[in-house]
Each structure stands twice: as structure tokens, then as C-alpha cells.
Amino acid sequence: MPIGKKQRKMMKETSMLSVFYHPDFLQYRIPAGVFDGEPSDYLDLQIDQPEGPERIRNTKGVLERTAVSGQLEWRVPHAASDEELSRFHTREYIERLKEFDLAGDYVSQSTYLPKGGLHTVRLSAGAAIGAARQVLAGTSRMAYAISRPPSHHAQPGEADGYCFINGVGLATLEAIREGCRRVAVIDWDVHHGNGTQVGFYGRDDVLTISLHMDHGAWGPTHVQTGDVDEIGEGRGEGYNINLPIPFGAGDYCYNRIMECCVVPAVTEFNPDFIVLANGQDANQFDPNGRQCVTMAGYYQLALQVRELARAHCGGRLVMTQEGGYNPTYAPYCAYSVVCALLAEEPEIADPISFYPEDAVRADRDVEALIARHPLF
Ligand SMILES: [Zn+2]
């Protein structure tokens, strides 16, 4: 999509982005198997679990080797304490994680904690908390926790979808502890941000918005459907917005949903802080997603979020790293997001040829979704 006059004006401005990263994120490995399941006797070759260190290593690499590197400040996260984790999670659950940490095992279906891996989980949570603190202190306008394991499926008392501790939630709570009155969470990971949804389901000071492929519930650790009727409860009614996007959707659909649903909802909510759950697994080559977003699509999505942050929060924005499981393409998409937030045009082109656009198959479906959503 071409860049408009308004966006070009934005591009004349620059700002620094703090990046929270720790080398231990590359040491944490999950045993190989059948994709994210246990090894199979039927196969000669098992494969690495998709939530591997390569995706983070390559994201760091592309950011370091391009011109945006001059606008990044690298920070080392701390390991989050029990007290910090307990702001979102139950004490019982934290103790349960410590038990799994002793030998390593599946904490839930497809969610394996390696022996001694809890330290990395704490660093990943610390990266999200640190990113929020950095922005709240005014040291940086924006901050990005490039960390793993990811976070947005972790519920107060449940691990799910490779996630153990909810960094999105911890960053959000940090903002509220520091005096923010309304925090908006925008989650464009290809999967439903069920953990964040559960954590804030009864609150009206946190608006949680999840754009995801229409995958529905997937078992005992993800009973939430991610459908439009999960809108929050009690005081929180109307403050949880699910946008299940048809399978096969790409740049057009995602940006249309952002424009028609996310932007007006956030605008009405008028947050003073925004947390972006930045997964790149809606990209066209992701092994875990069924969507077709490209580098260019992510760029446009990020411009819209940047504009929301500028309009409501003085430009303040915190990002957590969520999914994105093609270890060569997802980093380009992460780079594209960073370029948009820094008002830079990407200097490198999309490295992989473009799949057919989604216009024919999904346009009609996405219009139907907007039409039937009770909040729009
Ligand atoms: Zn995901």
C-alpha cells in the first residue's frame, strides 16, 4: 500500500526505541518432536519445537544490521521475582512452575518447560516489565521486549500455547501501578490472546483487543473461544474485544479490521498507555498460522498503532514479543514493525516472493464479521 501524505509527515520525526534482550533467550531449548508434540516412533527425523531461539536471534540480527540500529538502545532485563509474577499469576501456579522446573516436563499440552528453564521465563517477564518501566519513567518513548518464551496465552493459573508468564499483563499492570488510568492492549499475534483476556476480563481500566485467526477453543488450557461474544464481565463488560479473522486473510483484511474496529475502539477508550502484543505468526509463511500478512502489511498495521499512541499516549508504546515461528521470515516482519514505529521506510525488501493477496477469498468474510460484531 502506498504511504499517504499524513504518514510521510510522521516519517520526518524520529524517536528512540529501547530493546530488552538477554543472551539466555538463546540457551533455552525445548526437545525436538513432531512439531510441538512429543517425538514419534514413525519418523526418522523429528523437528525442533517451533518456539526456538532462532527466531529471536534473527530478529536481533536484522535490527542490528540495518539502519534502524542507530535508533535502538539495548537493555538487559532482570529476572522477575515471585512478587512481580504474582501481580498477574496465583502463588499456587508459581509454585507449580518451580516444581516443573526441577526436571522439565509438559506443564500443559504442547507447553514444555525445560529443566532449569524457569530462569529464562523470569527474564522474559522481566523484559516486559523493564520495557514498561523504561517508557513510564520517560527514558524512552517506546520499548520492545525481544524475549522468549512468549506470554499472551498464560493465564493467572494456567500455562498454554508455549507461554508460562504473561508479560503483556505484567507490563499493563506496571503502567497502572505507575498511575496510568486506562491501558489498551492490542494483540495481533495470529492466536487469540486468551491469557490476557482472562487476566483483565472484569476490569474497565484495561481494554483488551485481540486480532486472531478464527481458531476457536483448543482444549483444556484454551477453553476461551476468542469469538466476538466474549466481551468481558461485570465492570469489564465491553472492555474485551475479540476479532476472529477468517483463515487466509492477509494485508487488506488485517488493516481493514484495524481501521474499522481497533482504531475506533481505542480512540473511544482514550488510553494513556498502550501495550502491543507483537506476534508475527500471522505472516504468510508461518508454520503455526493460516494467515497471509506480509512485511508490507505489518508496516501498515504498525503505522496505525503508532498513530494511536501519538494521539492518546504522547507516543508511548510498549511491545512484547509473542509468536512468529518461521525463523527467517518473521524477523523481517518484526523489522518492518520497528521501521514503522520509528518512522523509517524499510531499507530491505521482502525476501520471499508474495503469495496471492486475500482480496478474492476473504474480503466478503471480513465485511460480514464487521457487520455482525455487536460493538461496531
Ligand atoms: Zn501465536
Q: Ligand 1: distance of its center to the CA of 4 in Å?
A: 30
Q: How far apart are CA 7 and CA 219, in angstroms?
A: 42
Q: Ligand 1: distance of its center to the CA of 138 in Å?
A: 30
Q: Ligand 1: distance of its center to the CA of 319 in Å?
A: 15
pLDDT, mean of residues 211-234: 96
Whether 179 is in a domain gets the answer yes
Beta carbons of 183 and 176 less than 8 angstroms apart: yes
What pLDDT digit, counting tens, does each position of 236-289 carry? 999 999 999 998 899 989 999 999 999 999 999 999 999 999 999 999 999 999
Catalytic status, residue 153: yes
Whether 7 is in a domain gets the answer no
Beta carbons of 197 and 236 less than 8 angstroms apart: no
pLDDT of 12 reads 42
Q: How far apart are CA 162 and CA 49, in angstroms?
A: 10
pLDDT of 15 reads 61
For the chain, give the percent of residues with pLDDT over 70.
93
Whether 5 is in a domain gets the answer no
Query: Which positions ≥6 away from 124 have C-beta within 8 Å?
Result: 25, 77, 145, 147, 148, 149, 150, 151, 165, 167
Q: Ligand 1: distance of its center to the CA of 9 in Å?
A: 33
Q: Could you say which of 22, 89, 152, 153 is catalytic?
A: 153
- When divided into structural domains, the chain yields a total of 1
pLDDT exceeds cutoff 50 at 1: no
> What grid cell was written down for 2?
502506498
pLDDT of 110 reads 86
Average confidence score pLDDT of the chain: 93
Whether 3 is in a domain gets the answer no
Q: How far is CA 304 from the centre of its chain?
A: 16
Whether 62 is in a domain gets the answer yes
| β-pair type (317-321, 142-145) | parallel
Whether 219 is in a domain gets the answer yes
Sequence-ordered alpha helix ranges (H) in the chain: 5-11, 54-64, 82-85, 91-103, 118-136, 167-177, 194-199, 251-257, 263-269, 295-313, 330-341, 359-372
pLDDT, mean of residues 44-72: 96
H or E segment and range at residue 73 = strand 72-75
pLDDT exceeds cutoff 70 at 363: no
Q: How far apart are CA 20 and CA 127, in angstroms?
A: 5
* CATH number of the CATH domain containing 100: 3.40.800.20
Nearest CA to 21 among 72, 70, 67, 71? 72
Whether 6 is in a domain gets the answer no
Whether 107 is in a domain gets the answer yes
What pLDDT digit, counting tens, does each position of 296-347 carry? 999 999 999 999 999 999 999 999 999 999 999 999 999 999 999 999 999 9
Q: Which residue has the cell 539495548?
A: 74
Give the SS3 label for residue 185. Answer: strand
Range of the domain at 53: 16-349+356-372
